[in-house]
Structure 1
Amino acid sequence: MGNIGSTNVGESKQLLAEEVFHHIGRQIIDGTLAAGERIRDVDVAEELHVSRTPVREALQRLERLGMVTMYPSRYTEVTAVTAETIAQSLVFAGYQAGIAARLAVPQITAAQREHVLALVNAMRAALEDGAGTSNARWAVFSYLGEHSGNAQHRTLIDDASMVLFRNLRDWVVPPSDRARMAQIYVAEPSAPMICRISSSSASMSLPPGPPARSVSSSRRCSAARSVLPWMLALSTP
């Protein structure tokens, strides 16, 4: 791990903890650190040439996400992914994807909609591929989140992305459900429903007071006509 250039000691420590967090998280996601494996903060500190403080902070953050369990003054253990963990992650990801879509729909441009539709086509093509399904769905989800215009939601998803990747890395759409999901990806909902949902979504994304950007109802309907099918697909676990 290289040195971090910063004139602020507190900022430097925070960046170190962030790097350690992602380092350990990646090892858990790719299986280098398997379920049940023990992590000793002193070993990680030596490996990364950092003090034990950022390692402990990273492990505490991973514990809050449910990826490890810490046993004070002993060791930290990687948790297992259970059926319940997968089910909860699917529900969380589904709801958050729906929110991301509702926030982004009134704001994305025609060119951005075309880009997302291309991502959706890749998502549909990956229905029978476990890793491909997760990666393709995340590509759509993250793009919508980045264009949601909501910093709080982006922060929430950034923090949750690692545990979602870990918990859903081996999940695949059940064979019995693939035809239904494929239909959702290419569905064409009626205009009245589109406009109602789009208008409602736009109002949900704006706080009290003058909006930062005015979006006409006709544009909301046009945007929703393109995105509602895969919004439903994303929010369906």
Structure 2
Amino acid sequence: MIDTLEVPSMRLSDMVAERIATAIIDGTMPAGSRVRDQELAQKLGVSRMPVREALQRLQRVGLIETAASRYTRVTAVTPEVAQATRQFAGHYVTSLMRMALAAATPEARVTAAAEIDAMVAELDAGGSPAVAYRELQALFMRVADNAFMSMVSSDLGLAIERNLAALDGPDGTQVAAMLRDLRDAILDGDAAAGARVLQSAFGVEDE
């Protein structure tokens, strides 16, 4: 009998893209760094094909730029792009939250609140606000269980996280306080209250 293969939930090129994106976000690959697919393939222990696919994905979301036959390099985030990203992110994360609450059962809301409690505990222990935002977005996507949203959100999440890193954002204590307020709104199933919490955190308002 042939055993079933354990296939990873992510394609190899997606795993490579997230590894490269993480290096860009944390500054390991700073703005202006040259990106060479063969060098990355050797470092990651993969062939050049998934690296090339990953770089195409990262180019689409603005983390790298390419000039044909000249260079591929990490882009710089201008103050204008960072501010525009913050405005977009506020509305985007609010939309994710609303979709999640619309789909959530009372039991799912309790589970989501427990996950937010875990995020707060991580922040209280010195965790990263950027990681907390990433986990919050992932939580909303899981609860909403919308196939199209899941398909488009991974690339958006990478671009948002990278661009927001260029801003002087709230510290862990402030993000933890926001999450506590958001937790209460989610437990109550109150999308309007949740929207107010998120939009205040991102400095945006409903039009």
TM-score (norm 1): 0.63
Q: For 2:65, what is the secondary structure of its paired residue?
A: strand
Letter in 2 for 1:224: G
Q: CA deviation at 1:223?
A: 5.0
Residue 75 of structure 2 corresponds to residue 110 of structure 1: no
In structure 2, how many angstroms separate the alpha carbons of the residues matched to 1:141 and 1:49?
30
2:192 alignment partner in structure 1: 228
In structure 2, how many angstroms separate the alpha carbons of the residues matched to 1:151 and 1:235?
25
Residue 86 of structure 2 corresponds to residue 90 of structure 1: yes
1:53 corresponds, among 45, 49, 56, to 49
Q: CA deviation at 1:105?
A: 1.4
TM-score (norm 2): 0.71
1:31 alignment partner in structure 2: 27
2:129 alignment partner in structure 1: 133
Larger Rg: 1
Residue 145 of structure 2 corresponds to residue 173 of structure 1: no
2:160 alignment partner in structure 1: 164
The answer as to whether partners of 1:93 and 1:235 remain within 8 angstroms in 2 is: no
1:67 alignment partner in structure 2: 63
Residue 137 of structure 2 corresponds to residue 145 of structure 1: no
In structure 1, how many angstroms separate the alpha carbons of the residues matched to 2:69 and 2:39?
14
> 1:223/1:155 Cα in 2 relative to 1: closer, same or farther (>3 Å)?
farther
Q: For 2:72, what is the secondary structure of its paired residue?
A: strand
Letter in 1 for 2:46: V
Letter in 2 for 1:75: Y
User: RMSD value over aligned CA atoms?
Assistant: 3.6
Q: CA deviation at 1:126?
A: 5.8
Letter in 2 for 1:163: A
- Kindly indicate whether structure 1 or structure 2 has the higher relative contact order, using CA contacts under 8 Å at least 6 residues apart: 2
The answer as to whether partners of 1:120 and 1:185 remain within 8 angstroms in 2 is: no
In structure 2, how many angstroms separate the alpha carbons of the residues matched to 1:234 and 1:157?
18
Letter in 1 for 2:169: V
In structure 1, how many angstroms separate the alpha carbons of the residues matched to 2:128 and 2:38?
36
Unpaired runs of 5+ residues, structure 1, are: 8-13, 190-221
Aligned residues: 186
1:19 alignment partner in structure 2: 15
> 1:169/1:68 Cα in 2 relative to 1: closer, same or farther (>3 Å)?
same
Q: For 1:59, what is the secondary structure of its paired residue?
A: helix
Unpaired runs of 5+ residues, structure 2, are: 203-207
Q: CA deviation at 1:108?
A: 1.4
Q: Name the % identity.
A: 30
2:205 alignment partner in structure 1: none
CA-to-aligned-CA distance 1:18-47 (integer Å, 9 cap, x gap): 232122112112211111111112212233
> 1:151/1:52 Cα in 2 relative to 1: closer, same or farther (>3 Å)?
same
In structure 1, how many angstroms separate the alpha carbons of the residues matched to 2:123 and 2:197?
13
> 1:55/1:235 Cα in 2 relative to 1: closer, same or farther (>3 Å)?
same
